[in-house]
Amino acid sequence: MTVSGERVAGVLAGGSEQAILAELESRKLTPVAVGPVKDRHAQSGRKVSARQLAASYLQLADLLRAGVPLLRGLKLLGSRKSAPALAKVFSEIADAVAEGTELNAAMEAKPEVFPRVHIAMVKAGEKGGFLEAVLSRLGQFLTSQAELRSKVVGNLIYPSVLVVAGIAILGVIFGYFLPMFRPMFAKIELSGITKAVFAFSDFVSAYGIYLIVPAAVIGFVLWQLRKRPDVQARLDLWRVKAPVIGPIYRTLGVARFCRILGTLLGNSIPMIGAMQIAREASGNTVMEAAIEKATDAVRHGQALAPPLAESGLFTDDVIEMISVGESANNLDDVLVNIAETLEQRLDRQLTSAVKLIEPLMLLVLAVIVAIVAIAVILPMTQLSGGIGK
**Mean pLDDT to the nearest integer, 54-62:** 91
Q: CA-to-CA distance for 242 and 247, rounded, in angstroms?
A: 8
- Can you spell out the DSSP letters for 345-378? HHHHHHHHHHHHHHHHHHHHHHHHHHHHHHHHHH
Q: Please write the tens of the pLDDT for every residue from 252-266.
A: 888 888 888 888 888
Q: For domain 141-389, give its CATH number from 1.25.40.80, 1.10.3720.10, 1.20.81.30, 2.40.50.100.
A: 1.20.81.30
3-state secondary structure of 148: helix
pLDDT of res. 93: 92
**How many other CB atoms are there within 10 angstroms of residue 118's CB atom?**
21
**Mean pLDDT to the nearest integer, 258-278:** 86
Please list, in sequence order, all residues whose beta carbon lies within 8 angstroms of the beta carbon of residue 119, skipping any fewer than 6 positions away: 104, 107, 108
Handedness of CA 225, 227, 228, 229 (dihedral sign): positive
Q: Classify residue 213 by burial, with Cβ atoms within 10 Å: 0-12, 13-18, 19+.
A: exposed
pLDDT of res. 5: 61
Q: CA-to-CA distance for 210 and 206, rounded, in angstroms?
A: 8
Q: CA-to-CA distance for 318 and 268, rounded, in angstroms?
A: 23
Q: Percentages helix, strand, coil for the chain, rounded to the nearest 5?
A: 75, 0, 25
- Can you spell out the DSSP letters for 3-62? TTS---------SSHHHHHHHHHHTT---S-------HHHHTT----HHHHHHHHHHHHH
Residue 80 backbone phi and psi in degrees, to 5: -70, 145
In eight-state DSSP terms, residue 175 is I
**Mean pLDDT to the nearest integer, 266-295:** 84
* Highest mean pLDDT (candidates 52-66, 177-191, 237-251, 277-291): 52-66
**Mean pLDDT to the nearest integer, 374-389:** 72
pLDDT of res. 322: 93
**Mean pLDDT to the nearest integer, 207-226:** 79
- Residue percentage of the chain with pLDDT more than 70: 86
- Residue percentage of the chain with pLDDT more than 90: 16
Q: What is the largest CA-CA distance in the chain?
A: 110
Q: Classify residue 340 by burial, with Cβ atoms within 10 Å: 0-12, 13-18, 19+.
A: middle
Alpha helices in 173-226 (DSSP H): 192-207, 212-225
pLDDT at residue 246 greater than cutoff 70: yes
The model's confidence at residue 230, banded by pLDDT at 50, 70 and 90, is: confident
pTM of the model: 0.62
Q: Please write the tens of the pLDDT for every residue from 283-292.
A: 778 888 889 9
Q: Please write the tens of the pLDDT for every residue from 307-350.
A: 999 988 898 999 999 999 999 889 999 998 998 898 888 878 77
Handedness of CA 154, 160, 162, 165 (dihedral sign): negative
Q: Please write the tens of the pLDDT for every residue from 158-202.
A: 778 888 888 888 888 888 888 887 777 777 777 888 888 888 888
| Rg value, the chain, Cα | 30
Element (H, E) at 112: none
**How many other CB atoms are there within 10 angstroms of residue 327's CB atom?**
11
Alpha helices in 68-111 (DSSP H): 70-78, 84-98, 103-108
Closest CA to 139 of 118, 160, 155, 157: 118
Q: CA-to-CA distance for 161 and 351, rounded, in angstroms?
A: 16
Q: For all residues of the chain together, what is the average pLDDT?
A: 80
pLDDT of res. 95: 92
Q: Please write the tens of the pLDDT for every residue from 351-372.
A: 777 777 778 888 888 888 888 8
CATH 1.20.81.30 residue spans of the chain: 141-389
pLDDT at residue 13 greater than cutoff 70: no
The model's confidence at residue 3, banded by pLDDT at 50, 70 and 90, is: low
pLDDT of res. 47: 63
Q: CA-to-CA distance for 201 and 210, rounded, in angstroms?
A: 14
pLDDT of res. 184: 78
* Chain center to CA of 143: 14
pLDDT of res. 33: 62
pLDDT of res. 39: 42
pLDDT of res. 192: 86
